[in-house]
Amino acid sequence: MVVKILGILDVVTALILFLFLNFNVFQSLLIIFTIFLILKSLLTIKDLFSIIDLLVGFVIILNLVGMSNSLVWFGFYWLFFKGLFSLISSV
């Protein structure tokens, strides 16, 4: 159950990031979900996926403060597909 919730939150974060990158909307919502992503990854920092989540969170923050970086698209794909795999694997 927890895996599904975290998977859903990863997918929602990825979708909000996508909307922000393409249409520059939901900036405050993206900040909230990015903070959640960083806190979640800090709680389970021993896992490689959590370290990648932490890096993605920092890349999103850098993008929010104006540093345009193509790594943010990697972050989108990472969160989206990791969330989908979390949902599929927990069925």
Domain ranges across the chain = 2-89
Mean local confidence (pLDDT), 53-81: 93
Q: Yes or no: say if 57 and 38 are a contact pair by the CB < 8 Å rule.
A: yes
**pLDDT of the residue at 91:** 66
What pLDDT digit, counting tens, does each position of 18-47 carry?
A: 999 999 999 999 999 999 999 999 998 999
**pLDDT of the residue at 15:** 97
Q: Enter the tokens of residue 43.
A: 């709680």
Q: Enter the tokens of residue 40.
A: 């979640």
**What is the percent of the chain where pLDDT is above 90?**
81
The reported pTM is 0.92
Assign 69 a pLDDT band (cuts: 50, 70, 90). confident
